[in-house]
Chain A
Amino acid sequence: MIHPIPPGTRDVLPDEMRELRRLKAALIEVFEDRGYGEVATPAIEYDEVMARADGPTRSGYRFFDQSGELLTLRSDMTVPIARLVATRFASGEPPFRFSYLASGYRAVRPQRGQMREFVQAGVELIGASAEEGTVEVIEVLEAALDAAGLGRAVIGLGDADLYRQLLEELGVEGEARDAILASLATHDLVALEQRLLDAGIGAERAQTCVQLTQLRGGKEVLEAARGLGGAAVERATTQLSETFGELERRGAADRVQIDLGLLRDLGYYSGAILEVYDPAVGHVLGGGGRYDGLMKQFGLDLSAAGFALYLDRVHTAQLEEARRG
Protein backbone atom coordinates (compact mmCIF):
# COMPACT_ATOMS: atom_id res chain seq x y z
CA MET A 1 0.00 0.00 0.00
CA ILE A 2 1.50 3.38 -1.03
CA HIS A 3 0.66 6.30 1.23
CA PRO A 4 1.92 9.45 -0.48
CA ILE A 5 3.63 12.47 1.10
CA PRO A 6 3.26 16.00 -0.30
CA PRO A 7 5.57 16.86 -3.22
CA GLY A 8 8.63 18.81 -2.07
CA THR A 9 8.95 16.83 1.16
CA ARG A 10 10.78 13.58 1.75
CA ASP A 11 11.69 10.81 4.15
CA VAL A 12 15.30 10.18 5.15
CA LEU A 13 16.41 6.58 5.61
CA PRO A 14 19.32 5.30 7.74
CA ASP A 15 22.12 5.25 5.10
CA GLU A 16 21.55 8.87 4.21
CA MET A 17 20.82 9.84 7.80
CA ARG A 18 24.22 8.56 8.94
CA GLU A 19 25.96 10.76 6.38
CA LEU A 20 23.78 13.75 7.20
CA ARG A 21 24.45 13.30 10.90
CA ARG A 22 28.21 13.32 10.30
CA LEU A 23 27.86 16.47 8.20
CA LYS A 24 25.68 18.19 10.81
CA ALA A 25 28.10 17.27 13.60
CA ALA A 26 31.05 18.66 11.62
CA LEU A 27 29.24 21.94 10.95
CA ILE A 28 27.99 22.42 14.51
CA GLU A 29 31.49 21.77 15.82
CA VAL A 30 32.85 24.59 13.64
CA PHE A 31 30.09 26.93 14.79
CA GLU A 32 30.49 26.12 18.49
CA ASP A 33 34.30 26.38 18.26
CA ARG A 34 33.92 29.92 17.02
CA GLY A 35 31.52 30.91 19.74
CA TYR A 36 28.25 30.47 17.85
CA GLY A 37 26.04 28.61 20.32
CA GLU A 38 23.30 26.52 18.76
CA VAL A 39 19.69 27.61 19.26
CA ALA A 40 16.32 26.18 18.31
CA THR A 41 13.12 28.12 17.76
CA PRO A 42 9.60 26.93 17.04
CA ALA A 43 8.75 26.01 13.45
CA ILE A 44 5.45 27.91 13.85
CA GLU A 45 5.46 31.60 14.70
CA TYR A 46 2.88 34.36 14.76
CA ASP A 47 2.42 35.60 11.23
CA GLU A 48 2.52 39.20 12.44
CA VAL A 49 6.04 38.65 13.86
CA MET A 50 7.43 37.01 10.72
CA ALA A 51 5.81 39.70 8.56
CA ARG A 52 8.02 42.37 10.18
CA ALA A 53 10.79 41.39 7.83
CA ASP A 54 9.39 42.73 4.59
CA GLY A 55 10.39 41.13 1.36
CA PRO A 56 9.47 37.98 -0.47
CA THR A 57 10.61 35.64 2.30
CA ARG A 58 7.22 34.59 3.64
CA SER A 59 6.84 30.87 3.87
CA GLY A 60 3.58 30.53 2.01
CA TYR A 61 2.14 28.35 4.77
CA ARG A 62 -0.22 30.33 6.97
CA PHE A 63 -3.07 28.98 9.01
CA PHE A 64 -5.36 29.72 11.94
CA ASP A 65 -5.07 27.97 15.28
CA GLN A 66 -8.03 26.90 17.40
CA SER A 67 -8.44 30.42 18.82
CA GLY A 68 -8.25 32.19 15.48
CA GLU A 69 -4.62 33.39 15.68
CA LEU A 70 -2.87 33.61 12.31
CA LEU A 71 0.25 31.45 12.42
CA THR A 72 2.98 30.81 9.87
CA LEU A 73 5.66 28.22 9.24
CA ARG A 74 9.08 29.91 9.29
CA SER A 75 10.71 30.36 5.88
CA ASP A 76 14.22 30.63 7.30
CA MET A 77 15.98 31.07 10.66
CA THR A 78 17.18 34.65 10.23
CA VAL A 79 13.90 36.28 11.16
CA PRO A 80 13.16 33.95 14.14
CA ILE A 81 16.66 34.63 15.52
CA ALA A 82 16.15 38.39 15.09
CA ARG A 83 12.94 37.95 17.08
CA LEU A 84 14.73 35.86 19.70
CA VAL A 85 17.55 38.37 20.19
CA ALA A 86 15.15 41.31 20.47
CA THR A 87 13.01 39.44 23.01
CA ARG A 88 15.59 37.63 25.14
CA PHE A 89 18.78 39.65 24.80
CA ALA A 90 17.57 43.25 24.52
CA SER A 91 19.54 44.26 27.61
CA GLY A 92 22.53 42.01 26.88
CA GLU A 93 25.92 43.13 25.70
CA PRO A 94 26.36 42.67 21.94
CA PRO A 95 27.72 41.10 19.82
CA PHE A 96 25.52 37.99 19.93
CA ARG A 97 26.55 34.85 18.11
CA PHE A 98 24.12 32.03 17.36
CA SER A 99 24.09 29.01 15.09
CA TYR A 100 21.33 26.65 14.01
CA LEU A 101 20.48 23.47 12.19
CA ALA A 102 16.81 23.76 11.41
CA SER A 103 14.17 23.19 8.79
CA GLY A 104 12.50 26.01 6.91
CA TYR A 105 9.39 25.99 4.71
CA ARG A 106 8.72 27.70 1.41
CA ALA A 107 6.08 27.46 -1.26
CA VAL A 108 7.84 26.09 -4.32
CA ARG A 109 6.95 24.60 -7.65
CA PRO A 110 7.31 20.86 -7.09
CA GLN A 111 9.02 18.51 -9.59
CA ARG A 112 11.89 20.95 -9.85
CA GLY A 113 14.01 19.46 -7.10
CA GLN A 114 13.00 22.39 -4.94
CA MET A 115 11.86 21.38 -1.50
CA ARG A 116 9.08 22.97 0.51
CA GLU A 117 10.70 21.62 3.65
CA PHE A 118 14.48 21.92 3.78
CA VAL A 119 17.22 21.91 6.42
CA GLN A 120 19.60 24.83 6.75
CA ALA A 121 22.81 25.13 8.75
CA GLY A 122 23.96 28.64 9.46
CA VAL A 123 25.06 31.38 11.82
CA GLU A 124 23.88 34.86 12.80
CA LEU A 125 26.23 37.52 14.14
CA ILE A 126 24.27 40.40 15.61
CA GLY A 127 25.71 43.66 16.88
CA ALA A 128 29.27 43.47 15.53
CA SER A 129 30.48 46.43 13.49
CA ALA A 130 29.71 46.13 9.80
CA GLU A 131 33.22 45.55 8.51
CA GLU A 132 34.35 43.04 11.12
CA GLY A 133 31.02 41.28 11.08
CA THR A 134 31.16 40.52 7.36
CA VAL A 135 34.74 39.31 7.57
CA GLU A 136 34.06 37.11 10.60
CA VAL A 137 31.01 35.53 8.97
CA ILE A 138 33.00 34.75 5.80
CA GLU A 139 35.71 33.12 7.89
CA VAL A 140 33.18 30.92 9.69
CA LEU A 141 31.64 30.02 6.31
CA GLU A 142 35.06 29.01 4.96
CA ALA A 143 35.70 26.85 8.02
CA ALA A 144 32.27 25.24 7.58
CA LEU A 145 32.97 24.45 3.91
CA ASP A 146 36.34 22.96 4.87
CA ALA A 147 34.69 20.86 7.58
CA ALA A 148 32.24 19.59 4.95
CA GLY A 149 35.20 18.62 2.74
CA LEU A 150 34.34 21.15 0.03
CA GLY A 151 37.82 22.53 -0.44
CA ARG A 152 36.99 23.79 -3.95
CA ALA A 153 33.89 25.74 -2.97
CA VAL A 154 33.87 29.45 -3.85
CA ILE A 155 32.16 32.33 -2.02
CA GLY A 156 30.77 35.13 -4.16
CA LEU A 157 30.89 38.53 -2.43
CA GLY A 158 28.74 41.37 -3.73
CA ASP A 159 26.85 44.46 -2.62
CA ALA A 160 23.07 44.41 -2.20
CA ASP A 161 22.63 48.20 -2.40
CA LEU A 162 24.72 48.87 -5.49
CA TYR A 163 21.99 48.87 -8.12
CA ARG A 164 19.30 50.51 -5.99
CA GLN A 165 21.72 53.38 -5.35
CA LEU A 166 23.01 53.46 -8.91
CA LEU A 167 19.47 53.74 -10.30
CA GLU A 168 18.67 56.49 -7.80
CA GLU A 169 21.80 58.31 -8.96
CA LEU A 170 20.62 57.95 -12.56
CA GLY A 171 17.16 59.24 -11.63
CA VAL A 172 15.35 56.00 -12.45
CA GLU A 173 12.47 55.30 -10.08
CA GLY A 174 9.06 53.67 -9.69
CA GLU A 175 8.00 50.91 -12.05
CA ALA A 176 11.00 51.37 -14.33
CA ARG A 177 13.37 50.80 -11.39
CA ASP A 178 11.46 47.73 -10.19
CA ALA A 179 11.49 46.22 -13.67
CA ILE A 180 15.25 46.80 -13.96
CA LEU A 181 15.93 45.25 -10.54
CA ALA A 182 13.74 42.27 -11.49
CA SER A 183 15.77 41.60 -14.65
CA LEU A 184 18.94 41.98 -12.59
CA ALA A 185 17.72 39.43 -10.05
CA THR A 186 17.05 36.88 -12.81
CA HIS A 187 20.20 38.00 -14.66
CA ASP A 188 18.34 38.51 -17.93
CA LEU A 189 20.84 40.82 -19.60
CA VAL A 190 18.83 41.22 -22.80
CA ALA A 191 15.81 42.54 -20.88
CA LEU A 192 18.07 44.53 -18.55
CA GLU A 193 19.63 46.48 -21.40
CA GLN A 194 16.24 47.09 -23.03
CA ARG A 195 14.69 48.30 -19.77
CA LEU A 196 17.64 50.58 -19.05
CA LEU A 197 17.23 52.08 -22.51
CA ASP A 198 13.47 52.41 -21.96
CA ALA A 199 14.22 54.30 -18.73
CA GLY A 200 15.88 56.96 -20.88
CA ILE A 201 19.37 56.98 -19.35
CA GLY A 202 21.05 56.80 -22.76
CA ALA A 203 22.79 53.98 -24.59
CA GLU A 204 26.20 54.57 -23.07
CA ARG A 205 25.06 54.48 -19.45
CA ALA A 206 22.86 51.47 -20.16
CA GLN A 207 25.92 49.69 -21.56
CA THR A 208 27.91 50.65 -18.48
CA CYS A 209 25.30 49.19 -16.14
CA VAL A 210 25.20 45.94 -18.08
CA GLN A 211 28.99 45.72 -18.05
CA LEU A 212 29.01 46.28 -14.30
CA THR A 213 26.88 43.16 -13.75
CA GLN A 214 29.48 41.07 -15.58
CA LEU A 215 32.39 42.05 -13.34
CA ARG A 216 33.38 39.10 -11.19
CA GLY A 217 36.77 37.80 -10.12
CA GLY A 218 39.64 39.01 -7.95
CA LYS A 219 40.59 42.52 -6.81
CA GLU A 220 41.09 43.64 -10.41
CA VAL A 221 37.31 43.82 -10.94
CA LEU A 222 37.13 46.64 -8.38
CA GLU A 223 39.48 48.71 -10.54
CA ALA A 224 37.45 47.89 -13.63
CA ALA A 225 34.27 48.91 -11.79
CA ARG A 226 35.74 52.22 -10.62
CA GLY A 227 36.60 52.95 -14.22
CA LEU A 228 32.87 52.90 -14.97
CA GLY A 229 32.36 55.76 -12.51
CA GLY A 230 29.56 57.10 -10.33
CA ALA A 231 29.03 57.63 -6.59
CA ALA A 232 27.16 54.36 -6.00
CA VAL A 233 29.91 52.36 -7.68
CA GLU A 234 32.53 54.28 -5.70
CA ARG A 235 30.81 53.51 -2.38
CA ALA A 236 30.26 49.82 -3.18
CA THR A 237 33.79 49.26 -4.49
CA THR A 238 35.35 51.07 -1.53
CA GLN A 239 33.40 48.89 0.89
CA LEU A 240 34.14 45.68 -1.02
CA SER A 241 37.78 46.65 -1.27
CA GLU A 242 37.99 47.16 2.53
CA THR A 243 36.30 43.84 3.22
CA PHE A 244 38.44 42.01 0.68
CA GLY A 245 41.61 43.71 1.97
CA GLU A 246 40.84 42.57 5.52
CA LEU A 247 40.18 39.02 4.25
CA GLU A 248 43.55 39.13 2.48
CA ARG A 249 45.34 40.25 5.64
CA ARG A 250 43.81 37.28 7.45
CA GLY A 251 44.70 34.90 4.62
CA ALA A 252 41.02 34.22 3.98
CA ALA A 253 40.55 35.80 0.55
CA ASP A 254 41.66 32.92 -1.69
CA ARG A 255 38.26 31.41 -2.21
CA VAL A 256 36.32 34.66 -2.24
CA GLN A 257 35.22 35.97 -5.64
CA ILE A 258 34.14 39.60 -5.83
CA ASP A 259 30.97 39.76 -7.89
CA LEU A 260 29.30 43.03 -8.84
CA GLY A 261 26.46 41.13 -10.54
CA LEU A 262 25.31 39.46 -7.33
CA LEU A 263 21.77 40.30 -6.26
CA ARG A 264 19.95 38.03 -3.85
CA ASP A 265 16.21 38.25 -3.85
CA LEU A 266 15.66 38.16 -0.08
CA GLY A 267 14.29 41.59 0.72
CA TYR A 268 16.15 42.28 3.97
CA TYR A 269 19.74 42.34 2.71
CA SER A 270 21.76 45.55 2.74
CA GLY A 271 25.47 45.94 2.05
CA ALA A 272 27.55 42.80 1.62
CA ILE A 273 25.86 39.71 0.16
CA LEU A 274 27.27 36.22 -0.18
CA GLU A 275 26.60 33.21 -2.36
CA VAL A 276 28.26 29.79 -2.16
CA TYR A 277 29.14 27.63 -5.18
CA ASP A 278 30.91 24.33 -5.64
CA PRO A 279 32.40 23.48 -9.04
CA ALA A 280 30.91 19.97 -8.93
CA VAL A 281 27.27 21.05 -8.79
CA GLY A 282 25.18 23.43 -10.89
CA HIS A 283 23.15 25.04 -8.11
CA VAL A 284 23.94 27.47 -5.31
CA LEU A 285 24.75 25.82 -1.95
CA GLY A 286 23.66 28.73 0.19
CA GLY A 287 24.14 32.38 0.83
CA GLY A 288 23.98 35.21 3.27
CA GLY A 289 25.17 38.71 3.91
CA ARG A 290 24.36 41.77 5.97
CA TYR A 291 20.86 42.85 6.94
CA ASP A 292 21.35 45.91 9.06
CA GLY A 293 17.73 47.04 8.80
CA LEU A 294 16.23 43.80 10.06
CA MET A 295 16.95 44.20 13.79
CA LYS A 296 15.38 47.65 13.67
CA GLN A 297 12.13 46.01 12.62
CA PHE A 298 12.31 44.28 15.99
CA GLY A 299 13.19 47.43 17.92
CA LEU A 300 16.96 46.98 18.30
CA ASP A 301 19.34 49.17 16.35
CA LEU A 302 22.02 46.56 15.73
CA SER A 303 23.83 45.56 12.57
CA ALA A 304 23.64 41.89 11.62
CA ALA A 305 25.22 39.38 9.29
CA GLY A 306 24.97 35.67 8.69
CA PHE A 307 24.81 32.81 6.24
CA ALA A 308 22.79 29.66 5.67
CA LEU A 309 23.84 26.52 3.82
CA TYR A 310 21.26 24.12 2.44
CA LEU A 311 22.24 20.85 4.11
CA ASP A 312 20.98 18.59 1.29
CA ARG A 313 22.81 20.58 -1.37
CA VAL A 314 26.05 20.47 0.62
CA HIS A 315 25.55 16.73 0.95
CA THR A 316 25.01 16.41 -2.83
CA ALA A 317 28.18 18.43 -3.44
CA GLN A 318 30.12 16.11 -1.10
CA LEU A 319 28.93 13.13 -3.12
CA GLU A 320 29.78 14.77 -6.48
CA GLU A 321 33.22 15.82 -5.27
CA ALA A 322 33.88 12.28 -4.04
CA ARG A 323 32.81 10.86 -7.42
CA ARG A 324 35.36 13.06 -9.10
CA GLY A 325 38.00 11.61 -6.80
Chain B
Amino acid sequence: MADGPLKLAVPRGALFGETLDILDAAGVDTSELRGDSRSLIFHTSGMTLVTMRPSDVPTYVESGAADVGITGKDVLLEQADRVVYELLDLGFGRCRMVLAAQTGNDRLGEAQRRLGMLRIATKYPRIAEGYFESTGRQVELIEVKGSVELAPLVGLGDGIVDLVATGRTLEENELEVREEIVECTARFVANRVAHKLRSAEIDELTAKLREASAR
Protein backbone atom coordinates (compact mmCIF):
# COMPACT_ATOMS: atom_id res chain seq x y z
CA MET B 1 0.00 0.00 0.00
CA ALA B 2 1.48 3.34 0.94
CA ASP B 3 4.86 1.81 1.63
CA GLY B 4 7.49 1.29 -1.06
CA PRO B 5 7.15 1.85 -4.79
CA LEU B 6 3.75 2.20 -6.43
CA LYS B 7 2.48 -1.22 -7.59
CA LEU B 8 0.86 -1.33 -11.03
CA ALA B 9 -1.08 -4.39 -12.24
CA VAL B 10 -0.28 -5.01 -15.93
CA PRO B 11 -2.63 -7.25 -17.96
CA ARG B 12 -1.01 -10.01 -19.98
CA GLY B 13 -2.83 -11.24 -23.08
CA ALA B 14 -4.53 -9.12 -25.71
CA LEU B 15 -3.94 -5.81 -23.93
CA PHE B 16 -0.28 -6.51 -23.05
CA GLY B 17 1.48 -4.91 -26.03
CA GLU B 18 -0.48 -1.67 -26.07
CA THR B 19 -0.31 -1.44 -22.28
CA LEU B 20 3.49 -1.52 -22.48
CA ASP B 21 3.42 1.06 -25.29
CA ILE B 22 1.33 3.52 -23.30
CA LEU B 23 3.45 2.98 -20.18
CA ASP B 24 6.57 3.75 -22.22
CA ALA B 25 4.91 6.88 -23.56
CA ALA B 26 4.08 7.84 -19.95
CA GLY B 27 7.74 7.49 -19.00
CA VAL B 28 7.61 4.06 -17.35
CA ASP B 29 10.42 1.86 -18.67
CA THR B 30 8.97 -1.49 -19.76
CA SER B 31 11.97 -2.96 -21.62
CA GLU B 32 12.36 -5.76 -19.06
CA LEU B 33 8.75 -6.85 -19.60
CA ARG B 34 9.32 -7.08 -23.33
CA GLY B 35 12.08 -9.65 -22.98
CA ASP B 36 11.31 -13.34 -22.65
CA SER B 37 11.69 -13.29 -18.87
CA ARG B 38 9.25 -15.56 -17.09
CA SER B 39 9.18 -13.30 -14.05
CA LEU B 40 5.82 -11.93 -12.99
CA ILE B 41 7.15 -8.95 -11.03
CA PHE B 42 9.40 -6.22 -12.44
CA HIS B 43 11.02 -3.23 -10.74
CA THR B 44 11.37 -0.24 -13.03
CA SER B 45 11.27 3.57 -13.02
CA GLY B 46 10.57 3.69 -9.29
CA MET B 47 7.53 1.45 -9.70
CA THR B 48 6.74 -2.22 -9.32
CA LEU B 49 4.95 -3.76 -12.32
CA VAL B 50 3.03 -6.93 -11.57
CA THR B 51 1.84 -8.94 -14.59
CA MET B 52 -1.32 -11.03 -14.45
CA ARG B 53 -4.43 -12.13 -16.33
CA PRO B 54 -6.64 -9.13 -17.15
CA SER B 55 -9.53 -10.68 -15.19
CA ASP B 56 -7.36 -10.77 -12.05
CA VAL B 57 -6.56 -7.06 -12.15
CA PRO B 58 -9.72 -5.90 -10.27
CA THR B 59 -9.09 -8.51 -7.58
CA TYR B 60 -5.54 -7.32 -6.90
CA VAL B 61 -6.45 -3.65 -7.07
CA GLU B 62 -9.53 -3.95 -4.87
CA SER B 63 -7.55 -5.65 -2.10
CA GLY B 64 -4.68 -3.18 -2.33
CA ALA B 65 -2.16 -5.86 -3.40
CA ALA B 66 -1.73 -3.54 -6.41
CA ASP B 67 -2.26 0.22 -5.99
CA VAL B 68 -3.28 0.84 -9.59
CA GLY B 69 -3.86 -1.28 -12.67
CA ILE B 70 -4.90 -1.49 -16.29
CA THR B 71 -7.64 -3.79 -17.56
CA GLY B 72 -10.51 -3.95 -20.04
CA LYS B 73 -13.93 -2.41 -19.42
CA ASP B 74 -15.39 -5.86 -20.17
CA VAL B 75 -13.58 -7.22 -17.11
CA LEU B 76 -14.76 -4.31 -14.96
CA LEU B 77 -18.36 -4.76 -16.09
CA GLU B 78 -18.27 -8.49 -15.48
CA GLN B 79 -16.88 -7.89 -11.97
CA ALA B 80 -18.98 -4.82 -11.24
CA ASP B 81 -19.14 -5.56 -7.51
CA ARG B 82 -15.41 -5.10 -7.12
CA VAL B 83 -14.75 -1.71 -5.58
CA VAL B 84 -12.08 -0.04 -7.71
CA TYR B 85 -11.89 3.58 -8.83
CA GLU B 86 -12.03 3.91 -12.60
CA LEU B 87 -9.84 6.91 -13.37
CA LEU B 88 -9.23 6.97 -17.11
CA ASP B 89 -10.35 5.57 -20.46
CA LEU B 90 -7.05 4.70 -22.14
CA GLY B 91 -8.72 4.34 -25.53
CA PHE B 92 -6.86 1.28 -26.78
CA GLY B 93 -7.97 -2.34 -26.93
CA ARG B 94 -11.25 -1.22 -28.44
CA CYS B 95 -13.75 -4.04 -28.92
CA ARG B 96 -17.48 -4.66 -28.69
CA MET B 97 -19.54 -6.92 -26.47
CA VAL B 98 -22.14 -8.37 -28.84
CA LEU B 99 -24.95 -10.83 -29.16
CA ALA B 100 -24.09 -13.07 -32.12
CA ALA B 101 -25.86 -15.99 -33.79
CA GLN B 102 -25.38 -18.29 -36.75
CA THR B 103 -25.30 -16.57 -40.11
CA GLY B 104 -28.26 -17.20 -42.34
CA ASN B 105 -30.68 -18.85 -39.94
CA ASP B 106 -33.20 -17.51 -37.47
CA ARG B 107 -32.84 -19.92 -34.56
CA LEU B 108 -32.46 -16.96 -32.23
CA GLY B 109 -35.64 -15.22 -33.37
CA GLU B 110 -37.49 -18.51 -33.45
CA ALA B 111 -36.50 -19.37 -29.88
CA GLN B 112 -37.72 -15.97 -28.74
CA ARG B 113 -41.00 -16.31 -30.66
CA ARG B 114 -41.91 -19.95 -30.03
CA LEU B 115 -40.21 -20.74 -26.72
CA GLY B 116 -40.18 -17.29 -25.11
CA MET B 117 -36.69 -18.06 -23.90
CA LEU B 118 -33.21 -17.69 -25.37
CA ARG B 119 -30.35 -20.05 -24.59
CA ILE B 120 -27.15 -18.03 -24.67
CA ALA B 121 -23.61 -19.31 -24.24
CA THR B 122 -21.11 -16.83 -22.84
CA LYS B 123 -17.95 -16.20 -20.85
CA TYR B 124 -19.60 -13.04 -19.48
CA PRO B 125 -22.72 -14.24 -17.59
CA ARG B 126 -23.15 -11.06 -15.51
CA ILE B 127 -22.95 -8.70 -18.50
CA ALA B 128 -25.29 -10.96 -20.48
CA GLU B 129 -27.75 -11.25 -17.60
CA GLY B 130 -27.84 -7.47 -17.16
CA TYR B 131 -28.31 -6.88 -20.86
CA PHE B 132 -31.20 -9.30 -21.36
CA GLU B 133 -32.85 -8.10 -18.17
CA SER B 134 -32.61 -4.48 -19.32
CA THR B 135 -34.18 -5.43 -22.66
CA GLY B 136 -36.94 -7.47 -21.00
CA ARG B 137 -36.07 -10.91 -22.35
CA GLN B 138 -35.83 -14.21 -20.51
CA VAL B 139 -32.66 -16.18 -21.06
CA GLU B 140 -30.99 -19.32 -19.94
CA LEU B 141 -27.31 -18.48 -19.66
CA ILE B 142 -24.79 -21.21 -20.31
CA GLU B 143 -21.39 -20.29 -18.91
CA VAL B 144 -18.44 -21.67 -20.84
CA LYS B 145 -14.74 -21.06 -20.22
CA GLY B 146 -13.20 -21.71 -23.65
CA SER B 147 -14.06 -20.86 -27.27
CA VAL B 148 -17.64 -19.74 -27.00
CA GLU B 149 -18.04 -19.64 -30.82
CA LEU B 150 -18.20 -23.41 -30.73
CA ALA B 151 -21.39 -23.54 -28.67
CA PRO B 152 -24.09 -22.63 -31.23
CA LEU B 153 -22.35 -24.66 -33.97
CA VAL B 154 -23.00 -27.87 -32.08
CA GLY B 155 -26.35 -26.87 -30.66
CA LEU B 156 -25.32 -25.58 -27.23
CA GLY B 157 -27.49 -22.48 -27.19
CA ASP B 158 -29.19 -20.29 -29.78
CA GLY B 159 -26.55 -17.58 -29.70
CA ILE B 160 -23.56 -16.20 -27.85
CA VAL B 161 -22.61 -13.05 -25.96
CA ASP B 162 -18.93 -12.41 -26.53
CA LEU B 163 -16.25 -9.82 -27.05
CA VAL B 164 -15.47 -9.01 -30.69
CA ALA B 165 -12.44 -7.05 -31.88
CA THR B 166 -12.18 -7.52 -35.66
CA GLY B 167 -15.07 -9.93 -36.17
CA ARG B 168 -12.86 -12.44 -37.95
CA THR B 169 -13.36 -15.24 -35.44
CA LEU B 170 -17.13 -14.84 -35.75
CA GLU B 171 -16.91 -14.90 -39.53
CA GLU B 172 -14.72 -18.01 -39.58
CA ASN B 173 -17.31 -19.79 -37.47
CA GLU B 174 -20.22 -18.58 -39.59
CA LEU B 175 -21.58 -16.34 -36.89
CA GLU B 176 -22.78 -12.76 -37.26
CA VAL B 177 -23.39 -9.85 -34.91
CA ARG B 178 -27.10 -9.43 -34.16
CA GLU B 179 -26.99 -6.81 -31.40
CA GLU B 180 -24.28 -4.60 -29.94
CA ILE B 181 -24.29 -4.47 -26.14
CA VAL B 182 -21.44 -2.17 -25.17
CA GLU B 183 -18.12 -0.92 -26.48
CA CYS B 184 -15.10 -1.71 -24.31
CA THR B 185 -11.64 -0.14 -24.06
CA ALA B 186 -8.74 -0.41 -21.62
CA ARG B 187 -9.21 1.48 -18.36
CA PHE B 188 -6.83 2.77 -15.69
CA VAL B 189 -8.09 1.83 -12.22
CA ALA B 190 -6.96 2.50 -8.64
CA ASN B 191 -7.44 1.05 -5.20
CA ARG B 192 -9.63 3.44 -3.21
CA VAL B 193 -7.27 3.73 -0.23
CA ALA B 194 -4.21 4.14 -2.47
CA HIS B 195 -6.10 6.83 -4.39
CA LYS B 196 -6.49 8.75 -1.12
CA LEU B 197 -3.12 8.10 0.48
CA ARG B 198 -0.82 8.17 -2.57
CA SER B 199 -2.66 10.93 -4.36
CA ALA B 200 0.41 12.78 -5.69
CA GLU B 201 1.93 9.70 -7.37
CA ILE B 202 -1.38 8.47 -8.74
CA ASP B 203 -2.44 11.89 -10.02
CA GLU B 204 0.92 12.28 -11.77
CA LEU B 205 0.69 8.88 -13.44
CA THR B 206 -2.93 9.55 -14.42
CA ALA B 207 -1.95 12.85 -16.04
CA LYS B 208 0.89 11.21 -17.98
CA LEU B 209 -1.34 8.36 -19.14
CA ARG B 210 -4.05 10.83 -20.14
CA GLU B 211 -1.53 12.73 -22.23
CA ALA B 212 -0.11 9.52 -23.75
CA SER B 213 -3.57 8.17 -24.62
CA ALA B 214 -4.55 11.43 -26.31
CA ARG B 215 -1.62 11.18 -28.71
Contacts and interface: CB of A to CB of B under 8 A. Distances in A.
Given A282-B62, A282-B64, A156 B85 contact: no
A119 interface: no
Contacts of A172: none
A191 interface: yes
B81 A109 contact: yes
B197 A154 contact: yes
A191 B63 CA distance: 23
Contacts of A315: none
Interface string A128-165: 00000000000000000000000010101000000000
B2 interface: yes
Interface string B197-212: 1010001000000000
Contacts of A282: 1, 62-65, 191-194
A284 interface: yes
Interface in B53-70: 62-65
A284 B187 contact: no
Nearest to B73: A190
A29 B81 CA distance: 37
A189 B85 contact: yes
B21 interface: no
Given A279-B1, A279-B3, A280-B3, A259 B196 contact: yes
Contact of A187 (B63, B86, B203): B86
Given A112-B81, A216-B196, A259-B196, A281 B64 contact: yes
B25 interface: no
Contacts of B197: 154, 277, 279
B89 interface: yes
Contacts of B192: 187, 282-284
Given A282-B193, A284-B193, A191 B86 contact: yes
Given A279-B1, A280-B3, A281-B1, A190 B89 contact: yes
Interface string A295-317: 00000000000000000000000
Interface string B169-201: 000000000000000000100011111110100
Contacts of B86: 186-191
B72 to A, nearest CB: 13
A217 interface: yes
A99 interface: no
A189 B88 contact: yes
> Which of B81, B196, B199 has the most chain A CB atoms inside 10 A of its CB?
B196
Contacts, number: 61
Given A187-B86, A190-B187, A283-B64, A216 B199 contact: yes
Contact of A257 (B83, B85, B187, B196): B196
A111 to B, nearest CB: 11
Contacts of B85: 187-189
B1 A280 contact: yes
A35 B203 CA distance: 41
A169 to B, nearest CB: 25
Interface in B67-117: 81, 83, 85-89
A257 B85 CA distance: 18
Interface string A177-207: 0000000001111110000000000000000
Nearest to B187: A190
A154 B196 contact: yes
B200 to A, nearest CB: 8
A283 B193 contact: yes
A19 B62 CA distance: 27
A313 to B, nearest CB: 11
Contacts of A277: 193, 196-197
> Which of A190, A191, A281 has the most chain B CB atoms inside 10 A of its CB?
A190
Given A190-B86, A282-B191, A156 B1 contact: no
Interface in A75-99: none
Given A190-B86, A277-B196, A279-B193, 20 more contacts: A112-B81, A152-B2, A186-B83, A187-B85, A187-B192, A188-B85, A259-B196, A278-B193, A279-B3, A279-B197, A280-B1, A280-B2, A280-B3, A281-B64, A282-B1, A282-B63, A282-B65, A282-B191, A284-B192, A284-B193
17 contacts: A109-B81, A154-B197, A187-B86, A187-B192, A188-B85, A189-B87, A190-B88, A190-B89, A190-B187, A277-B193, A280-B1, A281-B1, A282-B62, A282-B64, A282-B194, A283-B64, A283-B193
In order of increasing CB-CB distance, the 3 nearest A-B pairs are A282-B64, A279-B2, A187-B85
